[in-house]
Structure 1
Amino acid sequence: MPKKTILHVESGPAGPDVADEYNRWYDEVHIPEMLTIEGVVAARRYAPVDGDPSYIAHYELEGDPRAVMRRLRDAAADGTMHLSDTARTDPPARMVVLELVVERDAASG
């Protein structure tokens, strides 16, 4: 069985004055564009509950994660993926690919 991997992304709006536009872009433009990339099969996005300015997105990856990341870089470079000037650039988005190590739930202990 292939290993499960995710792309973990920490990002946020450039400021409180563009937060609504940033969230609209992320939910209505960015996630749908991400899901058109071969190997990106699902997306989940989390908002902070305590005032932290960072949002988290998890993208489930299928296949070779290095190949998926190459396709993402290509899409950003060729304009297929539209980035927003409402996204924070200082610090820039943090992206890391993670591989599932263990999976449990409360019922299975």
Structure 2
Amino acid sequence: MAKGLLIVLSEPTAGADEDEFNRWYSEEHAPEMIDRGAAVSFRRLRASGIPLAAGIPEPATYVAVYEIEAETAEDVEAIKAQLGRTKHLSRGMSSTLDLASIRAAFYLPVD
């Protein structure tokens, strides 16, 4: 059972067709993460635009939450190795993804 998470925050490129960005991410990119064995499931969400409190900005418009089978740093290293076996995703990257906007982290359960 998946116990860890990979959380990826991202933005579409300026002027990009957001519908195409979302289609590519949800129908091509995220499913490939599962196909390659890096995750067992994913969910994508869009920021509401409503701040939690004054002075606390939303970090990104889009977030992808991948459930991963990881409980330890060693498990995360194995997932990274799985992803690193090929330099690029076989389904390709989209020009609608702003690569500079990506922020990501693996999260493990707290004992």
Same topology, TM > 0.5? yes
Aligned counterparts of 1:80 and 1:57: Cα–Cα separation in 2: 19
User: C-alpha displacement at 1:54, in angstroms?
Assistant: 2.2
User: C-alpha displacement at 1:41, in angstroms?
Assistant: 0.6
Q: Relative to 1, partners in 2 of residues 1:31 and 1:3: Cα closer, same or farther, differing over 3 Å?
A: closer
Aligned length: 99
Sequence identity, in percent? 31
Q: Which runs of 4+ in 1 moved over 4 A?
A: none
User: C-alpha displacement at 1:45, in angstroms?
Assistant: 0.9
Look up the match of 1:70: 81
The yes-or-no answer on 1:83 pairing with 2:93 is yes
Look up the match of 1:44: 43
Return the structure number with greater relative CO, CA threshold 8 A, min gap 6. 2
Aligned counterparts of 2:105 and 2:40: Cα–Cα separation in 1: 17
Structure 1 unmatched runs, 5+? 103-109
Q: Relative to 1, partners in 2 of residues 1:3 and 1:101: Cα closer, same or farther, differing over 3 Å?
A: farther
Matches within 5 A, 1:87-106: 87-91=97-101, 93-101=102-110
Structure 2 unmatched runs, 5+? 51-57
What secondary structure, in the 3-state scheme, does the structure 2 residue paired with 1:90 have? helix
Q: How high is the TM-score relative to the length of structure 2?
A: 0.74
Q: Relative to 1, partners in 2 of residues 1:79 and 1:33: Cα closer, same or farther, differing over 3 Å?
A: closer
User: What per-residue deviation string (whole Å, max 9, x for no partner) do you get for residues 32-58 of structure 1?
Assistant: 111112241111111111186521111
Q: How high is the TM-score relative to the length of structure 1?
A: 0.76
The code of the aligned residue for 1:38 comes to: G
Aligned counterparts of 2:65 and 2:2: Cα–Cα separation in 1: 16
